[in-house]
Amino acid sequence: MVHDSHYYDGAWQASTVSDAIDVISSATEQVVGRVPRGTAEDVDRAVKAARRGFEAWSQVSVEERAQWLEKLAAAMKTRVPQVAEAISHEVGTALSYSTKVQVEFPVMMIGLNGRFIRSAKLEDELGHSLVIKEPIGVVGCITPWNYPLHQVVCKMAPALAAGCTVVLKPAELAPLSAFMLAEAAHEVSLPAGVLNIVSGPGRVVGEAIVGHPDVDMVSFTGSLAAGRRVGALAGDGIKKVCLELGGKSAFIVLDDAPFEKAVAAGVNNCMQNSGQTCSAWTRMLVPRARHDEVAELAAAQLAKLTLGDPFDPATRLGPLASAAQRDTVLDYIETGKREGATLVAGGGRPAHLGTGYFVEPTIFADVAPGMTIAREEIFGPVLSIVPCDTEADAVRIANDSIYGLAGGVWAGTKERAMEVARRMRTGQVDINGGRFNILAPFGGYKKSGIGREIGPLALEEFFQLKAIQQ
């Protein structure tokens, strides 16, 4: 999986330097691919192509843009096995999960944005004014490694549907799916300048995109620290930003909940993608009187989640994406032990898996709300069980976070769960086993970000409003 060129202006373009980035398999620690290391000059060329492309693409009819997205989705559908394999190498995601969640879901989402733009209301009369939604322009997209294709699509698809053009920097750790997307775009002859991709490090390529004067908007997903940097650079240029940052989501299990079902759901949610999920429920808030029972139930559920080779059909949890991420997670586990949390399961590197960036899925009990593992985003397979005295105490602890991305509630009745969910300061809440909804907006309160992705409302991020008085 070697790519020696960037993709912009409708063609494969040689990089301005000969350096390359090796893509490492998280399971084997071997090189499985290579992409070019871009420069600010590469970005400038790609942005200029996007600006030229915008002049034509913004005038293309809604129906034609929708049809282009459907063509792109169809071309990506034929690549599902190859993309899933690449992501399982890059991220460590078990192949079955990679196929369904990492690839099939975002491929479907590309086509759905065609449906969303067809039904969008782009003009409205308010008094004697005609208010028009127009595409914002050239959008710089900077995406993370944990859900590499999904996060690209969350930005690219609604941007293109709205009539914008895109300059994309995929994650250094997991860039291969973005290049497969470029191959699909080239195959269907997507117009030149509509989708442009330059790979490289964030400090070089990412900052060049954010700071470029011809980039009108930046959509970024990543860490809080990187989001601050993006926001500061974009602010200098008075650019609109959409930021999807970190999370430390709480799952509240109330005293009348069906505990076996609720705890199992909470463990599964926390551990999906080996914990490398920004919206994962990493804090399980439970009645103090049932705390020990919850710890036993959680450990029993965790034992069902087989850790191993992501390409083994029996595997539920694979390795982490890099040695650095593995070491970061292990440091957090040691901090949890040192600060006095009770280790229930896991806690280190698995002895039977000597190769790969593996960490045992880990559960801590007796976690106090002020402990580091209860406050900071770990981004690995670590669950903290936090005892609470009352329902009000649970809501207070859930909201006592700099983040507000997601969360869950399980109660004996839908009505009680709904009442608690309304009091949580977070962008999404699942109640009593509610499933992910592709139509619902995704994004956070507080330092979890600005703006929303996914579903028809995501289109709104990519419009400017113009009022014409009649």
Q: Per-residue pLDDT tens for 239-268?
A: 999 999 999 999 999 999 999 999 999 999
Q: In what order do the strands lie in the sheet with 362-365?
A: 342-345, 362-365, 382-388, 281-287, 249-253, 407-410, 430-431
Q: Which residue has the tokens 């430390």?
A: 248
Distance CA 300, CA 289 (A): 19
Q: For residues 322-350, give the mean pLDDT.
A: 98
Query: Which domains are seen in the chain, by residue range?
Result: 5-245+448-469 (3.40.605.10), 249-441 (3.40.309.10)
Q: Which residue has the tokens 């956070």?
A: 444
The 8-class DSSP code of residue 462 comes to: G
The pLDDT of residue 394 is 98
User: 């930005």: which residue's tokens?
Assistant: 155
- Give 188-207 as a DSSP string: TTPPTTSEEE----IIIIIH
Copy the structure tokens of residue 131. 């208010």
> Would you place residue 135 in the very low, low, confident or very high pLDDT band (cuts 50, 70, 90)?
very high
In the 8-state DSSP scheme, what is residue 101? Answer: I
Which residues face 78 on adjacent strands?
none
Q: Averaged over 263-284, what is the pLDDT? A: 98
Closest Cα to residue 359, out of 327, 312, 315, 313?
327
Q: What is the CA radius of gyration of the chain?
A: 22
pLDDT value of position 38: 97
Q: Tally the C-alpha atoms within 13 A of residue 211's C-alpha that lie toward its C-beta.
A: 12
Binned at pLDDT 50, 70 and 90, residue 314 comes out as: very high
Q: Residue 193: left if φ>0, alpha if ψ -120 to 50, beta else—which one?
A: left
16-32 tens-digit pLDDT:
999 999 999 999 999 99
153-205 pLDDT, tens digit per residue, is: 999 999 999 999 999 999 999 999 999 999 999 999 999 999 999 999 999 99
Catalytically active residues are 244, 278
Helix (H) or strand (E) holding 335: helix 323-338
* 379: confidence class by pLDDT, cuts 50, 70, 90: very high
What integer is the mean pLDDT of 309-322? 97
pTM score, two decimals? 0.96
* Closest residue by Cα to residue 183 from 35, 16, 26: 35
What the block records as the tokens of 143 is 């995406």
Q: Return the sign of the alpha-carbon dihedral for residues 44, 48, 53, 59.
A: positive
**H/E segment holding residue 345:** strand 342-345
Quickly count: other Cβ atoms within 10 Å of residue 468's Cβ: 10
Strands 281-287 and 249-253: parallel
Under the banding of pLDDT at 50, 70 and 90, the label for residue 470 is: very high
pLDDT for the residue 271 = 98
405 residue type, one letter:
L
Tokens of 210: 């954010």
Dump pLDDT digits (tens) for 409-459: 999 999 999 999 999 999 999 999 999 999 999 999 999 999 999 999 999
CA distances from 61 to 64, 122, 265 (A): 5, 12, 44
Mean pLDDT of the chain: 97
> pLDDT band at residue 44, thresholds of 50, 70 and 90?
very high
